[in-house]
Amino acid sequence: MSNSSEIFEQIAPVNVLISVLYSLNLAIFVLQIPLSLLNIGILCRTSLLHRNLKFVLLTQSVLFTVFTIGRATQIIIIFVKAENCWPFGYKIVLFLVDFPQLFITYIGHVLFIERAIAIILFKNYENVKNLLFSCVWFIILTTYSVIISAEQSFKDQTQETITNGVLIAFYVALAISFFEIIAFSVMSTLNLKLFTSKLETQNNVHNLSERYQRTSPKIVPGQSMKKEERTHRQWEAPAAIYATLLGLGEGFGTEKVATNANAN
């Protein structure tokens, strides 16, 4: 009896610590849910982004919300030790965690491809309105993520913790990421140069939505402006975003803006 009491006394602090960590983790995910919904609302209201870019960011935000809800549910189930009450239901919860997590891992690569297309079609990308690109990448990535996530979530619990499909997906994503880091830096520099040269040929008149997509600083004036012009226009982009969110900037995404003070 004394040995059992000693073992219990040794384990009790560990259990308390685990309970505290689970509680903190749960609180973090619960707080993230309204923030994720707010982010979705902002993206839905804005008209400054190209529809391909907007769809990528919206998909990412929606899936992050699904992941947050799924993860919070999983923590509650583990906390109350109810994994074995309904094994199939718990596997569904695991799928709601694994699927968006894997999908979001690869959506960064989709964003890279979309930005590359924007550079290649620099002269007319703003006028591309079809959803072919969005449909293609969404179908491919959804199919792939469902297959890999289902393999991981619905596998026999006696099998290995991580399946071969998940490992392959991780290594492929890691290899591609190294290439994209270098390529994205080159793309950003090239994109800014193209945008700057275009401004020079058009007397610094451009679309707000185009500037936000072409330049690296998304909510500040373009780097090609002179210092006094940047000071004059430093509140222009935030004002445009706030006006859009309030429903006051219905044509703001296509409004012509002259960055040169003499052009006003």
**pLDDT tens figures, 86-142:** 778 888 888 988 899 889 888 888 888 887 777 776 667 777 778 888 999 999 999
Work out how many domains the chain is built from and give that number. 2
Q: Which of 258, 252, 223 is closest to 239 using CA atoms?
A: 252
219 and 144: one domain? no
35 and 135: one domain? yes
The whole domain housing 243 covers: 202-264
195 and 248: one domain? no
Range ranked top by mean pLDDT from 67-81, 109-123, 194-208, 216-230: 67-81
What backbone torsions phi and psi does residue 207 show, to the nearest 5 degrees?
Answer: -90, 140
- The CA distance from 148 to 98, in Å, is 9
Q: What's 129's DSSP letter?
A: -
Q: What pLDDT score does 28 carry?
A: 85
220 and 163: one domain? no
196 and 242: one domain? no
118 and 241: one domain? no
pTM over 0.85: no
72 and 176: one domain? yes
Instruction: Specify the higher pLDDT residue, 108 or 187.
Output: 108
